[in-house]
Structure 1
Amino acid sequence: MAKTREEKGRSLWWRIHSWAGLKLAIFMTFVLATGTLSVFAHEIDWLVTPAMRVSPQDGPRASWGTLAAAAAQAVPQGRLQTLYAPIDPWFAAEAWIDTGRDAPLRVYVDPWTGAVTGTHGWANVHRFLRQVHRHLMLPTTIGIPLVSSLALLLLASLVTGIVTYKKWWRGFFRLPRRGDVRRLSGDLHRLGGLWSLWFVALIGLTGVWYLVETLGGKAAVPKLTEVETVVPAPTGAALDRLIVKAQRMRPGLDIREIRFTPDNGVVLLGQDRAWLVRDRANGLAIDPSDGHVLTVLDGMDLDVHQRISEMADPLHFGTLGGLSTKMVWFLFGMVLTGMSVTGVIIHAKRLEKADQDQRSAGRLAWAGMGAWAYICTGLVILALALTPGAIGGAS
């Protein structure tokens, strides 16, 4: 019996969906898994780095000046570069100190007592996950387009999945059937796909944006005014005086980061009126030699292009709402990673019964990927091999 035009169309969409999910499955699973773990990369570092852990207290926190002075005194031969506020109450503040090596040294300071809790080299879990997920430890001009191109594959899978799943809107509460691996994996794949439609679209669109940026579509970054006189990074009472002046001028600015730059003075960055922007969108640059304001940054002044650029990271990594949204992003990241695996299982189990050579599901899946299996595996191995040199630095 000849297939109808509708059936032929659905068959074509199904073949596209299968190709997209199978051929690059190894590479896709690796990128999805590392991206999912990246959501909680700081928390993983907190678990494995004792110096990052502090006990929250009821009293007032130490001033920015106290934190900066403690970090600078811990490494007197270095130059204070950046100081970060704690991510959560149980995190230490983090300072980056330039010691003249390829990468800065991390110094952790208790935000209540102002005491240094320890130091750590540049390499950590966050650095590894961030770089391997973003550009596979390759040069960014090569790695970012390579990884970001998977976003096109995600969006293609989203469209083809909806087209091939008849009356998909009825499947949200359809429980997976048991008794057969192929049937169970197929039901889980469809159920996970339905509930994560919004997430796939979000990750796909932000991934496409990263691709656009790396191909020349970056938004303009506001330029900071340069200082006339270069002075050492202010700490202690000197820094606190600058903070007081900044808070009088911008009382709504929640300072989350301080950069001590030789060219642009002390740059105070954080969150203010604009929602869904990175800390760098709001702030003040102050000349530490005389205390006058050099540059004012306000997320409300961004144009559409800049606003999209600032929104990408909070939306992609789920940091827009703190720990609660990160938990949601992690959960759906796990679902998406699982779907990449179940898609391969579905393909292998479909062929297993008809295979005359009685090959295992794993061998069938590998054979189905063809040359792409070797290419994708090679990329993963290359990324891991490049890791020591890519994230090494101060120790």
Structure 2
Amino acid sequence: MFKLKQRFWFLLHGWVGLPVWLIFCAVCVTGTIAVFSHELTWLTNPNARAENPQNLPLKPANELIAAVKAEVPDAEVGSVMVMEPYLVNAVIFSTAKAPFGIAYVNQYTGKVQELNYGMNFITFMRSLHGWLLFPWQSSYSVGYYLVSGMAILMLVSLITGLVIYKNFWKSFTQPKVRFHQGRKTLLTDLHRLAGVWSIWFLLVMSLTGLWYLLQAILWHNDIEFYHEPNILTAAEVPGAGQKQIPPYSLEDALIIAKQTLPELQPAYIMMPEHNRDLYRISGSGDSVFFDQYSYTVFVNPWTGAVTDVHTPAQMSGLEVISHIADPLHYGTIGGIWTKVIWFLFGLLLSGMSITGFMIWGSRTIKAARAEPVTSYTTSEVNS
């Protein structure tokens, strides 16, 4: 009975990964690259580097926007993204001819170092990993469901792997890799060893992936779980047809936001899209596990009043999960060093998906060759 149980768990462990091996492997590889997408961009594209040999101070966001408008006079700037200190700021804009553009602006010199119209390497890798470049229809993407659904298979693979690998904890103190007992034995040892040492990583990827699956379902059914402030009323803005520039600039809004929330480190700034919209200044704060959009101050561009402040303390349960999932999934909780750890374990996970497929394939081929060949007579075939 025990052997039957072991065989069941082994078969389940293999079949969970085999049918979708290519997708799973692609998700692992692209996710590993996506962790270091910013660093790879810095390495391969000099225009993405925020070089500052003269030790100049940071320029305010409004000067960066002005630099973009000097390069592209008809640019409508929608947002400003602050990356790592060694990367330039990204100013997102649109024009009459280009619905989407990204300007790489050096935050120290104020120089526009590159204009991108379309998808760059960072957005390409994140999109490829997140939804396999499948198109979005209304509020869902089939690719997003495929990718997030891998979390279920990953969790089942983890559980079944621990069931069939007895005394797996010995691999922490007595790792075993047999190099001289054939290719199959070596692959099996490497697969098991990598799996045991990656238990924590597999669990983190599975749980965050399950959240992304739930998030997709919520989006698809138009269930709001995130905070969205009320826009201004018609009485609070100039009359219809009047074209006026709000008296409070972005620089003013940033000062007001910093005074309101001193711990705020702006990382994402959204400009008002229309007369009734607000400045939205989001960033990180004093909570390590929350992403760079967890602290937000909303400022009225007409009066300079703070209409809303949103921090982790005001978040619902689902909203908390949405803001801690990305740092855990991409390893940004501790900066470059945690990214290195996530990258290395991402390589391990990618290797496990490949070795697991190779082990399963070799066992399947061997079993097929071992099956007895049944001979049929002519009368049996015709009957």
Could you tell me the TM-score, scaled by structure 2's length? Answer: 0.85
Question: Which residue in 1 is equivalent to 2:375?
Answer: none
Taking a change above 3 Å as real, the CA distance of residues 92 and 345 of structure 1, as seen in their structure-2 partners, is: same
The Cα shift of 1:157 comes to 0.5
**Corresponding position of 1:161:** 161
> If each structure's helix is expressed as a fraction of its own residues, which one has the higher value?
1
For the residues of structure 2 that align with 1:315 and 1:291, how far apart are their CA atoms? 36
1:198 to 190, 196, 200: 200
Cα–Cα, structure 1 residues 354 and 247, in superposed 2: closer, same or farther, change >3 Å?
A: closer
Q: Does 1:243 align with 2:254?
A: yes
Amino acid at match of 1:176: V
CA distance in 2, matches of 1:297, 1:100: 34
- Residue equivalent to 1:364: none
**Change in 2 beyond 3 A, CA 1:17/1:102:** farther
Q: Using a 3 Å threshold, how does the CA distance of structure 1 residues 145 and 101 change in structure 2: closer, same or farther?
A: farther
Shift of the 264–281 alpha-carbon distance from structure 1 to 2, 3 Å rule, reads: farther
Deviations 1:128-174 (A, max 9, x none): 22122211222333221222111111000000000000111112241
**1: CA distance, partners of 2:133 / 2:117:** 18
1:326-375: CA deviations, max 9, x gaps?
11111111100100100122123335556659xxxxxxxxxxxxxxxxxx
Amino acid at match of 2:327: P
- What aligned pairs does 1:37-76 form with structure 2 within 5 A after superposition? 37-57=33-53, 58-76=55-73
In structure 2, what is the equivalent of residue 320 of structure 1? 333
Matched, 1:177 2:178: yes
Q: What residue in structure 2 maps to residue 330 of structure 1?
A: 343
Shift of 1:233: 7.9
Q: Does 1:254 align with 2:265?
A: yes
Q: What is the CA-CA distance between 1:303 and the residue it aligns to?
A: 1.9
Q: What is residue 229 of structure 1 aligned with on the other side?
A: 237
Shift of 1:279: 2.7
Query: Does structure 2 conserve the Cα–Cα contact (< 8 Å) formed by 1:45 and 1:124?
Result: no
Is the 2:92–2:103 contact (alpha carbons within 8 Å) kept by the matching residues of 1?
A: yes
Structure 2 unaligned blocks of 5 or more: 371-383
C-alpha distance in structure 2 between counterparts of 1:349 and 1:233, whole Å: 69
Match of 1:79 in 2: 76
Indicate the SS of the match to 2:166. Answer: coil
Aligned counterpart for 1:288 among listed residues 292, 298, 301: 301
Q: CA deviation at 1:201?
A: 0.8
Structure 1 residue 188: Cα displacement: 0.5
Cα distance in structure 2, aligned partners of 1:245 and 1:81: 20
May I ask how many residue pairs the two structures share in their alignment?
351
Q: 1:89 to 1:355 in 2, by over 3 A?
A: same
AA matched with 1:146: L
Q: How far, CA to CA, are the matches of 1:232 and 1:36 in structure 2? A: 47
- Structure 1 moving runs of 4+ over 6 Å: 230-235
SS in 2 for 1:279: coil
Partner residue, 1:17: 13
Q: 2:289 aligns with which of 276, 279, 304?
A: 276
Aligned alpha-carbon RMSD (Å): 2.3
**C-alpha distance in 2 between matches for 1:243 and 1:26:** 46
Percent identity (aligned): 31
| Alpha-carbon distance change, 108 to 122 in structure 1, aligned in 2, over 3 angstroms | same
Instruction: Name the CA distance, whole Å, in 1 between partners of 2:348 and 2:200.
Output: 12
1:2-35 Cα distance to aligned partner (Å, 9 max, x none): xxx2222111101100111222211211111111
**Does 329-338 or 223-232 show the bigger shift?**
223-232
* AA matched with 1:107: A
SS at 2:249 equivalent: helix
Partner of 2:25 in structure 1? 29
1:100-119 to 2 correspondences below 5 Å: 100-101=96-97, 103-119=99-115
Contact 1:225–1:295 (CA under 8 A) maintained in structure 2: no
Deviation larger for 275-284 or 213-222: 213-222
How many angstroms apart in 2 are the aligned matches of 1:102 and 1:224? 29
Bigger CA radius of gyration: 2
What residue number does 1:141 align with? 141
Give the counterpart letter for 2:207 in structure 1.
L
Cα displacement (A) at 1:286: 1.1
Give 1:255 shift: 0.8
CA–CA separation in structure 2 for the residues paired with 1:307 and 1:219:
14
TM normalised by structure 1 equals: 0.83
**Aligned 8 A contact 1:219 1:306 in 2:** no
Amino acid at match of 1:245: I
Match for residue 368 of structure 1? none
Query: Quick one: structure 1 residues 101 and 337, their matched pair in 2 at CA, closer, same or farther if it must change by over 3 Å?
Result: farther
